[in-house]
Amino acid sequence: MINLKSVLRGCALASTLATAPFAAQAQDFINVLTGGTSGVYYPLGAGLANIYGEKIEGARTQVQSTKASVENLNLLQSGRGELGFALGDSVAMAWEGNADAGFPEKLDKLRGIAAIYPNYIQIVAAADSGITEFSGLAGKSLSVGAPASGTELNARAIFGAMGMSYEDLGKVEYLPFAESVELIKNRQLNGTLQSAGLGVASIRDLASSLPINVVAIPAEVAEKLGAPYVAATIPAGTYDGQTEDVPTVAVSNFLVTHDDVSDELAYQMTKQLFENLDTLVSAHNAAAQIDMTKALDGMPIPLHPGAERYYREMGILK
């Protein structure tokens, strides 16, 4: 005679054994949310994914190209990624729940991993457009980044601080970096505003194709905007034909996760980031600016407990 209780216990055990490996695999899966493939987020994200796949036991990684900061933060909130790149002002607005910036509600699941390198606001125009300074953008066509992207939020802030608006432009395009550059090459667009690390591939491509002007943003703009914006310089020679230093403003980028990521996984993601910076620099030189001693500077959201554990081990937190 069949013992019904034994059968039920056996079914329960089989169910547990069947689901346990999948649960473990899900915890070890790391989807890295980046940006467009012609920007800096994507190569750095690919570099991190390779490091994590090699250094974190049992980890399976994936790199996802996105519209960058705003999309990444919303994806993290919904649990559709384990690590994302985002601009500091976007992270702050996500935590506040700024609807105009693309965050209808406070993204309360977000947790910080590290401040990484700064994004430089880089305004570049075809030399034959005649645009040599910011005021010269009036009446011209400019791409300000994908709609409600981190770049576009930066563009809004810069224009406001300069006493201008999109209405002063002849035409506004909301396009990713690579598409903006192609339109400039084809003489269908005068310029592009890109928020990215120095030496971003899209602007390098443009500068190698035709003469450009890199448009200055005065240092007082950073003072007017305040944190997380700071005054910065695009060094001479960053792009072909750029013979002089150009003043601009910069804003820090952050690596962000969410509170459903385990403490151990967040710890490992933080640890492997800083222990493999030399490898990450080979993915993109922007990684050379990542500094553990500045990893908590301006962090606009709570730190993930796993990341906090690493920083305490390293003496960054007491």
Instruction: Return the domain boundaries, the chain.
Output: 30-117+252-313, 119-251
Task: Write out the two tokens for 295.
Answer: 């990893």
**Residue 207 phi, psi (nearest 5):** -65, -30
Burial of 156 (0-12, 13-18, 19+ CB in 10 A): middle
Q: How far apart are the first and last CA of the chain?
A: 65
Q: What is the rounded distance in angstroms from the CA atom of residue 191 to the CA atom of residue 281?
A: 29
Contact 251, 89 (CB under 8 A): yes
Q: What is the rounded distance in angstroms from the CA atom of residue 66 to the CA atom of residue 55?
A: 25
Q: What angle do CA 212, 201, 121 make, to 5 degrees?
A: 65
Split at pLDDT 50, 70, 90, the class of 148 is: confident
Q: What is the rounded distance in angstroms from the CA atom of residue 184 to the CA atom of residue 192?
A: 8
Q: Is 4 a residue whose pLDDT tops 50?
A: no
Q: What angle do CA 106, 308, 272 make, to 5 degrees?
A: 105
114: nearest Cα among 223, 269, 7 = 269
Split at pLDDT 50, 70, 90, the class of 228 is: confident
Q: What is the rounded distance in angstroms from the CA atom of residue 233 to the CA atom of residue 186?
A: 29
- Which stretch of 83-97, 217-231, 293-307 has the lowest confidence by average pLDDT? 217-231
Q: Look up the pTM and report it.
A: 0.80
Q: What is the rounded distance in angstroms from the CA atom of residue 229 to the CA atom of residue 245?
A: 19
Question: What are the pLDDT digits (tens) for 17-34?
Answer: 333 333 334 458 999 999
Tell me what the pLDDT averaged over the chain comes to: 91
From the options 3.40.50.920, 3.40.190.10, 3.40.50.720, 2.40.430.10, give the CATH code of 119-251: 3.40.190.10
| C-beta neighbour count of 62 within 10 angstroms | 14
Split at pLDDT 50, 70, 90, the class of 52 is: very high
Of 39 and 155, the one with more pLDDT:
155
Q: Looking at this protein, which amino acid is placed at residue 79?
A: G
Q: What is the pLDDT of residue 21?
A: 35
Contact 140, 172 (CB under 8 A): no
CA dihedral 95, 99, 105, 108 (to 10 degrees): -10
**92: helix, coil or strand?**
helix
Q: Looking at this protein, which amino acid is placed at residue 192?
A: T
Q: Is 3.40.190.10 the CATH classification of the domain at 30-117+252-313?
A: yes
**197: helix, coil or strand?**
coil
DSSP at 258 = E
Q: Is 11 a residue whose pLDDT tops 60?
A: no
**296: helix, coil or strand?**
coil
**112: helix, coil or strand?**
strand
Name the helix (H) or strand (E) containing 60. Answer: strand 60-64
Report the DSSP pairing between strands 29-33 and 60-64. Answer: parallel
Question: What are the pLDDT digits (tens) for 233-285?
Answer: 999 999 999 999 999 999 999 999 999 999 999 999 999 999 999 999 999 99
